Chains A and B, each alone.
Chain A
Amino acid sequence: MQYAIDVRNLTKTFGDIVAIDGASFTVKEREIFGLIGPNGAGKTTALRILSTLLKPSSGTATIFGNDVVKKPEAIRESISYLPEEAGAYQNLSGYEYLSFMAGFYAEDKESQDEMLKEAELISGLGERLDDRIKGYSKGMKRRLLLARAVMMKPKLLILDEPTSGLDVVHAFHVRQVIKEYADKKGVTVLLSSHNMLEVEYLCHRVSLINEGKIIAEGSPDELTQKFSAENLEQVFMEVAKLG
């Protein structure tokens, strides 16, 4: 069976810094997969490689069978990436931004309108979509960006810390959207987080990453059992100590 994501022995260096150090993992289709680890572990770097923004220093990564180095264009057709500190064009209105983005994925006017309707719903911004993005709060912006990322129902959704900096209400909403898209609309999700509890709630499977190395992998339940811990947070502290 073909994996949605297949990463083998991936290494990425920036000068002397080794951001990713021989990491391997696979993600099945329709799965929600979490890449979890502390600050500077290499999560963002891994997601950027998979989104074709960075090139691996060695090792391979394929998405739906397409190599990130050899076929970046094919990959860009099937993914949607939400960067961790993403922004939106300040001088466009929320609606203009969404319709600008939808234009790249929609085949015709009809499907574009469909995407926009979807995005309006997800963003929950209502009338405010007509305002310039300049005036949005952080939470409003993040929801707009999430709506942008999911509205075209990509085959693979890559989310870098989707709920970071959001309050409980906004974070809850974002998690629901992610879950709904994976469960009901057949979207594969790869996300990063250092919020272990969020990951436990959302992800079917996770990889623990520390200092660029994958130090454990499995479903949240498997991992807590294996390390006889109460939750993923304890698992992580346990594994990080060993490693």
Chain B
Amino acid sequence: MGNLWSLVLKEIKELVRDPKILIGVILMPIIIFPVMGSAINISTSSVQRAMITASFAIYNEDEGAPTDALLEHLYRNNTVITIEANGIQDALSKYQETNASTLLWIMEGYSENVSQGLKGELKVYANLKSLSIAEAGSTDAIGGLLNYYAYFLSIANINSLLEQAGAIGEASVVRSPLSVDYQSIIKGNVIDVAPSQIVSVIMSQSVMLPIMVMVMLMFAIQMAATSIAIEKEQKTLETLMTLPVSRLTILSGKLAGSIVVAVAGAIAYMIGFGYYMTSAFSFAPELTTMSTQDLSIGLEPLGTLLLGVNIFVTLVSGLALAISLATFTDNVRSAQSLTGFLTIPIMLPAIILMFSDLSMLPKTVQMVLLVIPYTHSIIASKAAFLGNYVLVLRSIGYITLFTLVVLYIAAKIFSTERIITARFTTFDMKKLLGRRSNRER
């Protein structure tokens, strides 16, 4: 026990004091995410400012009561630049000298059309100077004003038609005759929330969970592979292997040390991501406050426990895999490129399951995905939220089995001379890949 503890401690010291790991795994997520979040926040608030101060230009060619009513609506509360010109070409060149983002052209005959029950014709020109999101927002601003005006115009028209016909009724009802109230049933409880809202919350969860699992696994794998490769590169492995400690203890020390650092990395990542979410979406707090808890599909204690176990076995399996692979290399760079291949089976299920459900996929794709243990950990993460514990247990079982097999292999490799003699270099890998691509030709 004492030996294992000192191995773990040494492992943690080595990893945490390595500036590359400290920066990449712990500091980066804590710094990068909040920075990203505030960047988004700054740009969204500039969009909002652009929308509020939306200034536009009007070139009017028409006269009449309907035109005056429209102009009065537009001039109220808005900064409007009036363009005086001879014809639209002249108006357009004059408009481009102003800093108004859009030009509204009220065409000749607008009033006549509106009074005769025809469509009033308008044209909007947007001057896209920087092709940014803020510009799109200010173009929307005039669209919003016009839609709003169109709604009241139509209500007024309906009212006068109703009056003419002597019919009883409400203009707004005529305009939209149905009222639909959407309700959802979850775990047998009817709740007064639209399913689309719930889906959007679940969506954010099911996007988040695969990303979390994936990121944590990648950290852990990099960590474990690096820690083995460093021993080889710095020539400390031989000494370590002649110490009076069982190889299994050495292996466990490596696993445990990597897990501790990976979990610290995951926590840093979560803290960083939390900042990111709150600062990026601070203009719409309801997006972050509505959680699965409010929808009564949150985690029960048992679910939390199972989710934790699931993530733990997933981590251990990735670490064992990384360690087994890294023993075949003799330096950090080749270890990292070799374990880089593990990204594929980890990313694949995460990305696929982010956008769809397993049952929606073709049978063969399902089979391939189900062989990959990481598919199970993602499915289990979702299932834990929905209280489907059987599925979670199945996943834990499968991953544990997989982990035991890999651990057995890792322990075997550790107890043979392979760990000393294996010299798989980046050069070998290039040869291997090069040969394969030659054959393909």
A contact set with B: CB distance below 8 Å:
14, 48, 51-55, 73, 76-77, 79-83, 85-92, 96, 100-101, 103-105, 132, 145, 148
Contacts and interface: CB of A to CB of B under 8 A. Distances in A.
21 contacts: A14-B421, A53-B241, A53-B417, A54-B421, A55-B417, A76-B242, A76-B245, A79-B242, A81-B238, A82-B239, A83-B235, A85-B235, A86-B236, A86-B238, A86-B239, A88-B234, A89-B10, A90-B14, A96-B13, A100-B9, A104-B6
Nearest to B238: A83
Contacts of A87: 234-236
A76 B244 contact: yes
B420 interface: yes
B18 interface: yes
A72 to B, nearest CB: 9
A92 B16 CA distance: 11
Nearest to A14: B421
Contacts, number: 75
The 10 A-B residue pairs with the shortest CB-CB distance in the complex, in nearest-first order: A91-B17, A87-B235, A87-B234, A83-B238, A81-B242, A76-B244, A54-B417, A77-B244, A103-B6, A51-B242
Nearest to B2: A103
A81 B239 contact: yes
B190 interface: no
Given A77-B244, A90-B14, 12 more contacts: A53-B420, A76-B245, A83-B235, A86-B236, A86-B239, A89-B13, A89-B14, A91-B17, A92-B13, A100-B6, A104-B245, A105-B244
Given A54-B420, A86-B236, A103-B2, A73 B246 contact: yes
Contact of B10 (A14, A52, A55, A92): A92
Interface string B415-437: 01100110000000000000000
B3 interface: yes
Nearest to B7: A100
Contact of B234 (A77, A80, A89, A100): A89
A163 B413 CA distance: 32
B242 A88 contact: no
A148 B244 CA distance: 14
Interface residues of B, number: 24
B243 interface: yes
A96 B236 CA distance: 15
From A54, A77, A82, A89, name the one whose CB has the most chain B CB atoms within 10 angstroms. Answer: A89
Contacts of B238: 48, 51, 53, 81, 83, 86
Contacts of B246: 73
Contacts of A105: 244
B325 to A, nearest CB: 21
Nearest to A54: B417
Contacts of A86: 235-236, 238-239
Nearest to A149: B239
Contacts of A48: 238, 420
A103 B3 contact: yes
B244 A73 contact: yes
A18 B234 CA distance: 27
Contacts of A76: 242-245
B243 A92 contact: no
Nearest to B11: A89
Contact of A90 (B3, B234, B241, B421): B234
Nearest to B234: A87
A104 B243 contact: yes
Nearest to B6: A103
A36 to B, nearest CB: 21
Contacts of A82: 239
Contacts of B244: 73, 76-77, 104-105
A226 B10 CA distance: 52
Contacts of A89: 10, 13-14, 234, 236
Interface in B375-421: 416-417, 420-421
Given A89-B14, A91-B17, A92-B14, A83 B421 contact: no
Contacts of A53: 238, 241-242, 417, 420
B99 to A, nearest CB: 58
A55 B418 CA distance: 10
A114 to B, nearest CB: 17
Contacts of B13: 89, 91-92, 96
Contacts of A51: 238, 242
Contacts of A73: 244, 246
From B9, B234, B246, name the one whose CB has the most chain A CB atoms within 10 angstroms. Answer: B234
A41 B416 CA distance: 23
Interface in B107-121: none
B356 to A, nearest CB: 44
Contacts of B235: 83, 85-87
Interface string B228-266: 000000111011011111100000000000000000000
Contacts of A80: 242
B13 to A, nearest CB: 6
A2 to B, nearest CB: 21
Given A77-B244, A81-B239, A100 B417 contact: no
Contacts of A85: 235
Interface string B321-352: 00000000000000000000000000000000
A76 B420 CA distance: 16
A104 B246 CA distance: 11
Nearest to A158: B242
A14 B418 CA distance: 11
A52 B414 CA distance: 12
From A48, A54, A91, name the one whose CB has the most chain B CB atoms within 10 angstroms. Answer: A91
B144 to A, nearest CB: 59
From A79, A88, A104, name the one whose CB has the most chain B CB atoms within 10 angstroms. Answer: A104
Nearest to A103: B6
